[in-house]
């Protein structure tokens, strides 16, 4: 009987141990599930807050962005008009407007100085018109240096 009682005690101890292990396992599963659920909830709330801040930012700065785009567009338009009109500004353009040819890209004008008055002594000028603080593009800069370094030729193509 003592032996049976000892076996029942051992069985009871084993069962208690299994119950504690199972309880610990279930508790860890619960913690993991609860943690993941809480992280998902926090992430969702943060996403909603971030989207609200972004929408607020867009509303506050949309007008500023639009006005900036309009200013840039106006500057480009003024520049294009100026490129066409500069030959007719007598105080600014030192050449005869009849001798200027508008090209537009990559440079604005070529002037055949003397073509109307002394055709045997023409000089050719490449003109790039800039307004305000605009600067030469890389292509325009390359053309400028090609001209300054006298890498200019005359070619005649017969077709």
- My answer on whether 139 and 79 are in the same domain is no
Residues 6+ apart with CB under 8 A from 128: 107, 108, 109, 136, 140, 144
User: How many structural domains compose the chain?
Assistant: 2
The 10s digit of each residue's pLDDT in 80-120 is: 888 889 998 888 899 999 999 999 889 999 999 999 999 89
The structure tokens listed for 83 are 């490129």
Distance CA 149, CA 144 (A): 9
Is the residue at 157 inside a domain? no
Distance CA 100, CA 115 (A): 10
Is the residue at 153 inside a domain? no
Domain-terminating residue out of 88, 103, 135: 88
What per-residue confidence (pLDDT) applies to 60?
85
Three-point CA angle 77, 80, 85, nearest 5° = 120
- My answer on whether 18 and 83 are in the same domain is yes
- My answer on whether 102 and 71 are in the same domain is no
Query: In the predicted model, is pLDDT for residue 132 greater than 80?
Result: no
Domain-terminating residue out of 66, 88, 110: 88
The structure tokens listed for 66 are 């639009």
Is the residue at 154 inside a domain? no
The 10s digit of each residue's pLDDT in 34-50 is: 999 999 999 999 999 99
- My answer on whether 114 and 66 are in the same domain is no
Is the residue at 75 inside a domain? yes
- My answer on whether 5 and 80 are in the same domain is yes
Query: By residue range, what is the domain housing residue 25?
Result: 1-88
Q: What is the pTM of this model?
A: 0.57
- In the block, residue with structure tokens 């890498």: 151
- My answer on whether 60 and 75 are in the same domain is yes
* Closest by CA position to 125, among listed 81, 87, 77: 87
Distance CA 64, CA 62 (A): 5
């Amino acid at each position: 009987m003592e032996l049976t009682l000892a076996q029942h005690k051992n069985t009871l101890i084993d069962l208690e141990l299994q119950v504690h292990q199972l309880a610990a396992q279930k508790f860890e599963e619960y913690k993991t599930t609860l943690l993941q659920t809480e992280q998902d909830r926090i992430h969702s709330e943060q996403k909603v807050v971030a989207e609200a801040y972004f929408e607020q930012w867009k509303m506050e700065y949309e007008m500023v962005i639009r006005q900036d785009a309009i200013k840039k567009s106006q500057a480009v338009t003024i520049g294009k008009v100026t490129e066409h009109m500069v030959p007719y500004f007598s105080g600014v353009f030192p050449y005869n407007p009849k001798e200027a040819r508008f090209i537009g890209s990559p440079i604005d004008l070529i002037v055949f100085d003397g073509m109307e008055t002394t055709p045997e002594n023409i000089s050719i000028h490449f003109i790039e018109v800039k307004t305000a603080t605009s600067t030469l593009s890389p292509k325009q800069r390359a053309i400028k240096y090609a001209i300054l370094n006298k890498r200019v030729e005359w070619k005649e193509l017969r077709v």
